[in-house]
Amino acid sequence: MKKLLKDNIILILSICFILFLQLFIVSPTRVSGESMNHTLQHNDRSLVLKGNSVKRFDIIIFNTNKLTGEDKQYVKRVIGLPGETVSYKNNQLFINNEPIEEPFDIRDQSYTGDFSYVVNSHDYFVLGDNRGNSTDSRMFGGVNKEDIVGKMIYRFFPFNSIGKIN
């Protein structure tokens, strides 16, 4: 038994290191659906940095059990932070009544619609980039900080789209 352990110590340590990384630091994920088109496509593979420290416009993964009753994870973009008032009027985003430029490609912004939402102190307001085809905070409300799995940081597939996710 000692010889078996000694001969395979590098393999055993490597497996332990990979498991540690995946459980606590970063894990791979696959995008399912079209709610984040153009930024992310169906079947894109990316890495998620685990934790719930996010800022405006980060793309996050979160559990939907409490929001939709489904045992799923959604991928959306953080628009509103805790305590803010998020509104959309005439295709313009406002945070606390100040206009905010959205520095990413929104698929058909006219589908966003006009609304106003006050974000709770432990929640985040999220939207899909493909506003006409996204189930998001406009439907289910804010995402609690505890339900955030992490933020998407790097796409590794398809190979022609490898790189940091903005």
Q: Residue 74, SS3? A: strand
User: Please, where are the H alpha helices in the chain?
Assistant: 2-7, 9-24, 65-68, 137-140
Q: Is 76 a catalytic residue?
A: yes
**Paired residues of 131 in beta bridges:** none
Q: Is 121 a catalytic residue?
A: no
Residue in 46, 76, 134, 137 annotated catalytic: 76
Residue in 6, 14, 27, 35 annotated catalytic: 35
Listed as own residue / partner, the contacts of 1-8 with beta carbons closer than 8 Å and 24 or more positions apart are: none
Residues with catalytic roles? 35, 76
